[in-house]
Amino acid sequence: MNTSLPPYRTSAHSAGAHPATVTSGAPRTPHTRRALSVAAFAAAALALSACAPGAGSGGGSPSESAGGSGTAASTDGADVAEPVNAAQRDSRAEVPTLTPRVVLSHDGGLVTLDGETGEVVHEEELAGFLRLNNAGDGQHVMVSNGDQFEVYNSGIDAQGHGDHFHYYESDPGLSGIEFAAPYAGHVVVHHGLTTLFGDGDGSIQTFTSEHLKDGQPRTETTATDDPHHGVAMQLIDGTLLTTQGTEEGRNTVQVKSTGDNGEVVAETTDCTGVHGEAAAAPNENGDVVVLGCEDGPVIYRDGEFHKVAAEIEYQRTGNLAGSEDSSVMLGDLKTDAEAEFERPTQVALIDTLTDSLQTVDLGSSYWFRSLARGPEGEALVLTYDGELNVIDEETGEITAEIPAIEPWEEKEEWQQPGPILKVADSMAYVTDAENQQLVVIDLEAGEVVNEFDLDITPVEMAVVTGHPEAPEHEAGASDAGHSGDEEAATEEEGHEDHAGHDH
C-alpha cells in the first residue's frame, strides 16, 4: 500500500465491517446451521495449535513470507511479551454482571458509554482520524490511528470458568499496547485469532485475541508481495488467506501454508478490485469465506475458490457482513461503473452453498456502515429513510422495517460522520450523527428501547460485551461458531469500504 492511500478499516471484516452475530441453538435450515464432524474439527484444532501464534513454548523459527522477507514472531518464548497497563490491572474488580459498552470515536478522541444506561464511562483525548474495530477478546477495541493500531481497554471482561462465568471491570483507557503498521487498515477476528493488515507495506500480523488481556501479545508476521489496500485472515486449519496486488490494481486471492515455505495451496486471479472478506458458516471441510469483487464475488470453500457469476459486467460487492450461523452472506451492491458517487438501493445475498447471488431492492439507499447481521443470521440494513430493514437471508423477504433514526443521506466524503449500525446479542446500536444520538433497538421485539443524547458527533463505533467476538471453535462442537458460550454474541467479520477506495 502506498502512502497516498488513507487508513482503512475492515471490517470486517471490515473490512471489517459489521458485526455478525453468532448464537447457539437448534438448527433452522440447511442454509443457516451446520454440524461439523468431531474428526474434522479435531484435526483442524490440531493443525491450528501447531501453526497459530502462541502455539508451543518456543518463539517459532522464521519462515519465508510472500514477499521473501520472512515470517517471524515478534518475540521469542512467551506468548505475551509485556504486562498490561499497571493501573488498569490494579483496578480490576469482580462484579456480579456486565452490561455492553459502546465505544465511539469523534474529532478529538474516544467516548465509552454504558450500553444500557447511556452513562459516559470514560473519555479519552486522542488526536487523529480514528477508526474502530472489535479486537476479538470482547474487552478491547483496536484503534486505527495513522501508522499504528492502538489497543483500547473498554473495562469489561467475562471469564469462562467451567459451566459459568466470572465478570470483571477495570479502568477503561488506552492499554499501551500498540502495533506498528503503515497506513493501518483491516482488522479481522476469526477462530480466536486477530489479524492486522498494513496498507502501506502489506504487513500481516496475527496473534491470539485473548492474549491482549495479559499485555503485548506474541505476534506472527508476514507480508504480501507488494503493498496494497488488502486484507488477510488465518483459517481454522492454520493456513493464511490473503489478497495480493499493487496500488494500481488487485485481482488475486491466495491461501498459503504457514511455515518455512509459505506454499500457495489455493489461488484465484478472478476477483477484479478485490476488497474485504467475511466468513460464513463453515462446513465439514473447514472455513467458507467470501471476498468482494467488482465482477461478482468469489467464495473459498472446500480448499478451492468458486466464482459467483455476475449478471452484468460491473457488479461490485465491496462490503460484507457475515454470520457463522448462516451460509448466506450479506453484501452491498453497486452496478454503475461510471458513477462518481453511486447511491445503491439494492443489496446482495450471496449463497455460499450454490455460488449464486440474489438481489434485494430496499427502495432507499444506504452506505458502507449500514450492514450487519442479527442474532438468527438475519440480514440488517439501515437505509436513508431512517429505517432498519430486517431481511430473511434465505428468501430475501423484508420481514420488518423498524423506524430507527431521522432520515439521512451519505456525505460525499466518507470520513464525515454518518449513521453507524452495530449488533451485540439481540440489540442493534445505531448512531444518528446529525442529531448526536445513540439509539438502541431490541431486535426480538422489533422496537427502539433507548435513545441517548451525545455530547459529541460520532464517527465510528464498536460495541463489546466482555465475551469474545469470534471464539476458537471446539473440536466436536455441534455449533462450530461457538466455544460453548451462548452469550458470545458479536463477531466482527464484515468489512467496510469508503471513498478513498473504490467508493
* Band (58; pLDDT cuts 50, 70, 90): very low
Answer yes or no: are the C-beta atoms of 367 and 418 closer than 8 Å.
yes
Cα 184 to Cα 205: distance, rounded to the nearest angstrom: 11
Cα 490 to Cα 359: distance, rounded to the nearest angstrom: 25
Q: What is the average per-residue pLDDT within 33-57?
A: 36
Each residue of 338-382: pLDDT tens digit?
898 899 999 999 999 999 999 999 999 999 999 999 999 999 999
Q: What is the average per-residue pLDDT within 235-239?
A: 95
Phi, psi for 390 (deg, rounded to 5): -105, 120
Q: Which three cell numbers stand for residue 49?
A: 495449535
Q: What is the average per-residue pLDDT within 29-39?
A: 37
* Band (22; pLDDT cuts 50, 70, 90): very low
pTM: 0.81
SS (H, E, C) 314-334: CEECCCEECCCCCCEEEEECE
pLDDT of 313 higher than 50: yes
Cα 373 to Cα 322: distance, rounded to the nearest angstrom: 7
> For the residues of 220-239, what is the DSSP string, one character each?
EEEE-SS--S--EEE-TTS-
Q: What is the average per-residue pLDDT within 437-453?
A: 98
**Higher-confidence position of 493 and 395:** 395
Predicted pLDDT at 76: 37
pLDDT of 87 higher than 70: no
| % of the chain beyond a pLDDT of 70 | 76
Predicted pLDDT at 15: 35
Average pLDDT, the chain: 82
Predicted pLDDT at 304: 97
**Every domain of the chain and the residues it spans:** 11-16+62-492
Answer yes or no: are the C-beta atoms of 288 and 322 closer than 8 Å.
no
Predicted pLDDT at 414: 82
* Band (502; pLDDT cuts 50, 70, 90): very low
Answer yes or no: are the C-beta atoms of 285 and 464 closer than 8 Å.
no
Answer yes or no: are the C-beta atoms of 481 and 326 closer than 8 Å.
no
Predicted pLDDT at 329: 98
| Cβ neighbours of 397 (radius 10 Å) | 10
pLDDT of 466 higher than 90: yes
Each residue of 244-262: pLDDT tens digit?
999 899 999 999 998 767 8
Helix ranges (H only) for 23-155 are 38-51, 86-91
Predicted pLDDT at 401: 98
pLDDT of 385 higher than 70: yes
pLDDT of 68 higher than 90: no
Q: How far apart are the first and last CA of the chain?
A: 17
Q: Give the closest residue to 220 by CA, choosing from 82, 69, 77, 59.
A: 59
| Amino acid making up residue 373 | R
Pairing verdict, β 264-268 and 437-442:
unpaired
Q: What is the average per-residue pLDDT within 186-203?
A: 96
pLDDT of 302 higher than 50: yes
pLDDT of 482 higher than 70: no
pLDDT of 60 higher than 90: no
* Band (413; pLDDT cuts 50, 70, 90): confident
Q: Which three cell numbers stand for residue 436?
A: 448526536
Q: Give the closest residue to 233 by CA, choosing from 434, 26, 397, 48.
A: 48
Cα 366 to Cα 343: distance, rounded to the nearest angstrom: 7
Q: What is the average per-residue pLDDT within 6-17?
A: 35
Q: What is the average per-residue pLDDT within 384-402?
A: 98
pLDDT of 226 higher than 50: yes
Per DSSP, 147 falls in state S
> For the residues of 359-413, what is the DSSP string, one character each?
EEE-SS---TT-EEE-TTS-EEEE-TTSEEEEE-TTT--EEEEEE-S------SS
Answer yes or no: are the C-beta atoms of 239 and 42 closer than 8 Å.
no
Q: What is the average per-residue pLDDT within 186-214?
A: 96
* Band (81; pLDDT cuts 50, 70, 90): low
Each residue of 110-132: pLDDT tens digit?
999 999 999 999 999 999 999 99
pLDDT of 138 higher than 90: yes
Predicted pLDDT at 92: 85
Predicted pLDDT at 5: 31
pLDDT of 485 higher than 50: no
Q: Give the closest residue to 184 by CA, choosing from 375, 36, 18, 3.
A: 3
Predicted pLDDT at 53: 34
* Band (84; pLDDT cuts 50, 70, 90): low
pLDDT of 195 higher than 90: yes
**Higher-confidence position of 149 and 258:** 149
Phi, psi for 418 (deg, rounded to 5): -155, 175
Predicted pLDDT at 311: 87
Contacts of 301 (CB under 8 A, 6+ apart): 283, 285, 287, 288, 289, 352
Place of cell 447511491: 343
Place of cell 420488518: 400
* Band (83; pLDDT cuts 50, 70, 90): low
Q: What is the average per-residue pLDDT within 459-463?
A: 97
Q: Give the closest residue to 428 by CA, choosing from 400, 407, 408.
A: 400
Distances (CA, A) of 99 to 162, 169, 186, 486: 21, 10, 27, 16
Predicted pLDDT at 412: 84
Q: Which three cell numbers stand for residue 86?
A: 499497571
Q: What is the average per-residue pLDDT within 333-338?
A: 93
Q: What is the average per-residue pLDDT within 49-56?
A: 34
Would you identify the CATH topology of the domain 11-16+62-492? Methylamine Dehydrogenase; Chain H (2.130.10)
pLDDT of 52 higher than 50: no
Predicted pLDDT at 494: 57
